[in-house]
Amino acid sequence: MFGLLKNVRITSVGAMGLALALLSGCAINMPVPVTDPAPSADKFAKAEAAPTSLYFVDAQSAETKAKLVTGLIPMKPTYKDQPLDAAAWLARNTVTELAARGLPVKQATAADGATTVQIKLISSQNHRVSGFSPFETYTSLNADLITAKGPQRIAFWMKRGKVPVWSFNEVIDPTFNVPLGIMSKELAAKINQKLFGAAISDAQVDALAKKIEAAGKAADFNDVYALGYGNNPRAVPALVKLADFGDDDVAHAAISSLGALLANDQLPLLTKRFENDKTDWEDRAIALKAICDLDGAAAKAYVQKTEAALADKSDRASNLFKAIIALYK
């Protein structure tokens, strides 16, 4: 009997391994080389700020750090052929982005005389239904900027997907490097917003909007994020228009950017999108993320009401919505 049970167990484990191999394209525990994103080209038009040092603290627990990548398929992110130190990578690229924007920001090696940024969570959760479906990642950040007014929460969430055609390596850039790069830019944008208030000019906004419009169906979602991270409310009308763009990456960038720009007047648009249960849950999730970013009283009350309504639900979409809200608490 023992031998029979042992054989059954081995068969079950083997079947599980085969299923993972089919879902991952034999990518189980494969190295995922992470690269540095290119800094933004547009400098802030008004960047009159005092020199500032940022001290980044990796406040993640050992357990959280060990689970940088979670989900169905185990993977091993690397940077320059070494295991990725995600917090150090994010700190360096966030400061690089702020400096590229023209702000006098440096990374400090000690807390004295510096503004502290506490990194509490960096996470990439992956999912795949079958070998013919997209490989998806849900990338998250939870951080606190320590200011004279107290800790200021900064959060990030992004969903990306890609169907590998020839090799599983095809998913690395779109599902790992792209969201990590955008995370660093969004963290930089929100630090600027809270500490400096610098912004791109009206002319820069108009040039970006014109570039996106001229590209038509070939519009680059990175340009849409650039509108949001420019911290100029003149971009809001263009972003509202782009929220209905045919390409999901562009539309999601526009919706997310409305939150990043603190476009509180667009709360009705965002709540309508979140409450539309006829659309994909990814569309609803990015609308909820944008609502959580808003700083108005009405948006905060809406998030509290939504959290209460989700409390007793346990379906996949509801769990995702609850996880996004938790990033902002």
Element counts in the chain: helices (H) and strands (E): 13, 9
Q: How far is CA 8 from CA 13, 20, 60, in A?
A: 9, 18, 40
How much is the pLDDT for 315? 93
How much is the pLDDT for 131? 63
Mean pLDDT of the chain: 90
User: Region 231-247: what's the mean pLDDT?
Assistant: 96
Measured distance CA(19)–CA(63) in Å, rounded = 27
Given a cut of 60, whether residue 111 has pLDDT beyond it is: yes
pLDDT bracket for residue 16 (50, 70, 90): very low
Give the whole-number percent of the chain exceeding pLDDT 90.
Answer: 77
Range scoring the smallest mean pLDDT among 9-18, 132-141, 175-184, 231-240: 9-18
How much is the pLDDT for 7? 38
Handedness of CA 318, 158, 154, 199 (dihedral sign): negative
How much is the pLDDT for 132? 64
User: Region 96-117: what's the mean pLDDT?
Assistant: 96
Given a cut of 90, whether residue 246 has pLDDT beyond it is: no
User: Region 128-133: what's the mean pLDDT?
Assistant: 69
Given a cut of 90, whether residue 195 has pLDDT beyond it is: yes
Backbone angles phi, psi at 243, to 5 degrees: -65, -20
User: Region 305-309: what's the mean pLDDT?
Assistant: 98
Tell me the pTM. 0.91
pLDDT bracket for residue 109 (50, 70, 90): very high
pLDDT tens for residues 256-281? 999 999 999 999 999 999 999 888 88
How much is the pLDDT for 300? 98
Measured distance CA(173)–CA(40) in Å, rounded = 18
Domains of the chain with bracketed CATH = 24-198 (3.40.50.10610)
Measured distance CA(295)–CA(273) in Å, rounded = 19
User: Region 286-290: what's the mean pLDDT?
Assistant: 98
